[in-house]
Structure 1
Amino acid sequence: MSGSDWLAEAHRICGAEFVVDGPAIEPRYLQPARYAPGRAAGLVRPATTAQAAALLRLAAAHDLTLVIQGAHTGLVRAATPSDQRRHLLLSTERLREVFDFDPLDRTLRVSAGYRLSEVNERMAGHGLQFAIDLSADPSIGGMLAHNTGGTRMLRHGDVRANTLGLTALLADGTLLQAGRGLQKDNAGLALQHLFIGSSGALGLICEATLRLQPQPRQRAVALVAPRDLDAVFPLYREVMGGELAGLVSAFEGISRPALAAALAHVGDPGRLFDGRLPEYALLIELASELLAARLDLAALLQDWLEQQLGGERVVDAVLGADEQLWALRHAISEGLREQGAVIGFDISLPRRHFMRFRAEAAAWLAREFPAARVADFGHLGDGGLHFNLVWPRAEPPLSAQDLARLREGVYAINAALGGSFSAEHGVGPQIQAGYRQWTDAHTQRLAGGVERLFDPEARLGLTRFGPER
């Protein structure tokens, strides 16, 4: 392969200023949110689907693996190249050809390069939103590639539930239209769902038709201190099935170490619960499209909490600080990073095994890796858990072998309880070994058949769902 050959061709396809040789790539394209920076043979930034198709054919002709990258906010390294000879990085940030809003169907056909924040800013004037709430600001293409969930998945569902169709380029540059963008369409196989959550392994998502949701006209948030862990899920059942049913948009769980890290990060460690943080806190949000004059959510939530405070399940609560409470929730990850190296697990479980997993995993870690500090939090309402660990800076760094053993031990407990090793982050090089170990061989063979159908030469992406080839 001649580097100058592919560079010259790429210049002709999308312009010299949008093609960069490997050594000159800006760090933001190579540095993931976690982990060490990557390396690539080059970076290309097409502006149109036609340019992207030509670049796919160019990569195949020069025996290059195309690594597709949106906003580079993922946490499994699926968009971070690692081979400075064979990995060609394709950024979708200039894919912005389409932004077509249908106010009657309340749908948006949008190119992959738009950011979530841009979509919601432009839709706000219409009282609508793409209802996936995240602390990061990913691209639309990246959100589809990893089937993002977010903090309000409990009410609105994940990206898959809010996508009605998409357009993708296959490895040979062929354009595929999957789905017509209709609310109801049973006219064939829904191929769009294969691409959603595929981590870029099947094709380059160029645009999508998204289902939009009304913006809430009011929210009410409380941070609740349960009496103990045994009170957590009885509270969940009451919130989801009682007088507040249908109004709950988020039900988050935050352990004491995670909450303490967030408070330390914002510089006010004694701000909540008179400095006596509960073992586990619940962030509960109600939302409605009705105005407070018709339905006062703050009053409803306060009345419910007063009833609970008079019972045996709740010992304290914080109300009337909605934005500050969400800011704390989103500050957890940064707060943990300030304390040491973060070892993250994005898992999900049947709710009935949630607390059992926490106890068994903590006990196993105390025996095998006593220096690791558990600081878990997550979307308890939809069964998701960010089982994050902090490895203190004062400790010698974990060897690669020990880190692999730690991950295997935690995943084994999760698997034994019927959980998933990737709740919403997708599959990428960071957890590829976990996929190989915890996905049965028959499923991997079937997934491999799908991969070979869409990408026979394994030219796309860094994730493999089939057996090794």
Structure 2
Amino acid sequence: MAAHALDSFLSQAAARCGAMPVATGAAIEPRYLEAARYGAGQAAALLRPASVAELAALLPLAARHGLRIVPQGAHTGLVRAGTPTDAQRDLLLATERLREVFELDLLDRTLRVSAGYRLSEINERLAPHGLMLPIDLSADPSVGGMLAHNTGGTRMLRFGDVRANTLGLTVVTAEGQVLRLGRGLQKDNAALPLQQLFIGSSGSLGVIAEATFKLARLPRQQAVALVAPNSLDAVLPLYQRLMDELGSLVSACEGISRAAFEAALSCGGERSRWFGGELPDYALLIELSSDLPADKLDLQALLQGWLEAEFGERVADAVLGADAACWALRHHISEGLRARGKVVGFDVSLPRRHFMAFREAGRAWLAEHFAPAELADFGHLGDGGMHFNLVWPKDAPLLDEAALRAGVYALVQRFEGSFSAEHGIGPQLQQSYWDLSAPELLDWSGRVQRLFDPAACLGLTVWGPPPR
């Protein structure tokens, strides 16, 4: 029956979409099936539509044949929401050919763009105009993928997440309707903001085909420092002083534990360059940026003066004038950790008042219950986000990852945090979502999902209660 349904679907899809590239079974290239850091998936077919019209034809056709559409952007995500799982039923819908629209409005400083464009492409084309889409990531996601998971990034402290920079969407529903949500205006209260439902929905309510973003000016200057606080107790007071005195200029404030620092250095670089080789227990990567030139506002002098005022009381040491090297260090952490063993990542966020307390409670809990684990946390202290990542050594006993996740997430709840800060919900976090969400939230979320996708033919995330 499944093979007949697939053959019938492909025949009708070809009649409606003409020469759209399609691959089935073993002909699907591995890059579409191999997730960023996990095992390979499987799919009945790979579809690569190139227009909103083709999307609108494919989605209801799949539903009528009892097949499931799994949207996929650049496949850089960590929760497996873009990795198909069923070789009989799943239709992998790659959005990489959705490139119909790239409309830049220099006066309104907005960009209407198709879902298949990548972040790097967008910023390359915006740079000559002195503009950028201010989402900064170590990966290179597509527009659709960023929106499906509401990407944040290292400069979220200054510019916000993707949601904060989105003024409108074009979405295709499971029924094949094309919804144009929002007019691309900064101020628009003329309708329910339905576009907000689709941002962060992991492709489960509809397929995002286009977006309108507000843009930011490229900075004309930046100043970066890697700072060693006097102690762990000084970290949050130092952050608060930074924001009180330089807040409107602060574009990033990242935290790096000693273990994460060591992992990054294992990818290359001179240890002696950083604090004379004596790595601190915790470091802060601070960046200031401005679109004013240095002759009007000298950020380097401003940052140096602020640090000098903090020396002794809150700051033990700092590295200035190594901007690119500081960011390279930050972006090499994940690579360095993977070389040490199995990386188990927790993308959590916390109220800043609990940030360091959670970190220490988590360290103690791991030492008691999962002693071989090496905690190497890092991430976005400035916006409350933490990559509470650990390495399970290659020669350690078999890891009970379910018990590990349950324990860490219980701690996250105790400290009033979120178990998924910016990676989204997908198969990797589905069970945790069910376990940790209130029944009334599951109920209403399920109602919304059934409204947009009554045949359950879109995406891998289930927002309602778990199936019985």
TM-score tier after normalising by the smaller chain length = over 0.9
Does the alignment pair 1:205 with 2:203? no
State the alpha-carbon separation in 2 of the partners of residues 406 and 438 from structure 1: 15
Question: Could you state the TM-score of these two structures normalised by the residue count of structure 1?
Answer: 0.97
1:17 CA drift (Å)? 6.4
State the alpha-carbon separation in 1 of the partners of residues 414 and 16 from structure 2: 51
Counterpart position of 1:421: 419
Counterpart position of 1:175: 178
Q: 2:130 aligns with which of 101, 117, 127?
A: 127
Residues 150-198 of structure 1, C-alpha deviation per residue, up to 9 Å, x if partnerless? Answer: 0000000111110001010111111111111111001121000000011
1:345 CA drift (Å)? 0.3
Counterpart position of 2:344: 343
State the alpha-carbon separation in 2 of the partners of residues 221 and 13 from structure 1: 54
Counterpart position of 2:376: 375
Q: 1:35 aligns with which of 10, 35, 38?
A: 38
Counterpart position of 2:256: 254
State the alpha-carbon separation in 2 of the partners of residues 199 and 22 from structure 1: 24
Question: Could you state the TM-score of these two structures normalised by the residue count of structure 2?
Answer: 0.97
Counterpart position of 2:278: 276
Taking the TM superposition and a 5 Å limit, the aligned residue runs for 1:208-247 are 208-242=211-245, 244-247=246-249
Residues 198-224 of structure 1, C-alpha deviation per residue, up to 9 Å, x if partnerless? Answer: 111100000011000111100000000
Secondary structure of the corresponding residue to residue 87 of structure 2: strand
Counterpart position of 2:163: 160
Secondary structure of the corresponding residue to residue 83 of structure 1: coil
Q: Is the 8 A contact 2:20 2:47 kept in 1?
A: no
Q: Is the 8 A contact 1:33 1:74 kept in 2?
A: yes
Structure 1 range deviating more: 280-289 or 24-33: 24-33
State the alpha-carbon separation in 2 of the partners of residues 122 and 27 from structure 1: 30
Secondary structure of the corresponding residue to residue 221 of structure 1: strand
Counterpart position of 1:58: 61
Q: Is the 8 A contact 1:25 1:43 kept in 2?
A: yes
Which residue type is aligned with residue 264 of structure 1? S
Counterpart position of 1:303: 305
Which residue type is aligned with residue 414 of structure 2? A
1:356 CA drift (Å)? 1.1
Does the alignment pair 1:86 with 2:84? no
State the alpha-carbon separation in 1 of the partners of residues 284 and 168 from structure 2: 36
Counterpart position of 1:289: 291
The two structures, once aligned, show a CA RMSD in angstroms of 1.1
Counterpart position of 2:398: 397
Residue identity over aligned pairs, in percent, reads 65
Which residue type is aligned with residue 341 of structure 1? K
CA 1:461 to 1:316, structure 2 compared with 1: closer, same or farther past 3 Å?
Answer: same
Secondary structure of the corresponding residue to residue 225 of structure 1: strand
Counterpart position of 1:26: 29
Secondary structure of the corresponding residue to residue 96 of structure 1: coil
CA 1:15 to 1:267, structure 2 compared with 1: closer, same or farther past 3 Å?
Answer: farther
Q: Is the 8 A contact 1:262 1:332 kept in 2?
A: yes
Q: Is the 8 A contact 1:252 1:379 kept in 2?
A: yes
Gaps of 5+ in 2: none
Taking the TM superposition and a 5 Å limit, the aligned residue runs for 1:329-340 are 329-340=330-341
Structure 1 range deviating more: 124-133 or 51-60: 51-60
Residues 212-262 of structure 1, C-alpha deviation per residue, up to 9 Å, x if partnerless? Answer: 0111100000000011110001111110001x2210000000000001100
1:141 CA drift (Å)? 0.8
State the alpha-carbon separation in 2 of the partners of residues 197 and 47 from structure 1: 23
Residues 118-161 of structure 1, C-alpha deviation per residue, up to 9 Å, x if partnerless? Answer: 11111111111110111110000111111100000000011111
1:80 CA drift (Å)? 0.4
Counterpart position of 2:446: 448
State the alpha-carbon separation in 1 of the partners of residues 70 and 270 from structure 2: 42
Which residue type is aligned with residue 423 of structure 1? A
Taking the TM superposition and a 5 Å limit, the aligned residue runs for 1:104-115 are 104-115=107-118
1:305 CA drift (Å)? 1.2
Q: Is the 8 A contact 1:374 1:387 kept in 2?
A: yes
Q: Is the 8 A contact 1:10 1:16 kept in 2?
A: no
Which residue type is aligned with residue 391 of structure 1? W
Taking the TM superposition and a 5 Å limit, the aligned residue runs for 1:182-193 are 182-193=185-196
CA 1:269 to 1:39, structure 2 compared with 1: closer, same or farther past 3 Å?
Answer: farther
How many residue pairs were aligned?
464
Secondary structure of the corresponding residue to residue 236 of structure 1: helix
Counterpart position of 1:412: 410
Residues 395-450 of structure 1, C-alpha deviation per residue, up to 9 Å, x if partnerless? Answer: 2332xxx1100000000000111100000011111011111111101011111111
State the alpha-carbon separation in 1 of the partners of residues 49 and 15 from structure 2: 11
Q: Is the 8 A contact 1:201 1:463 kept in 2?
A: yes
Gaps of 5+ in 1: none
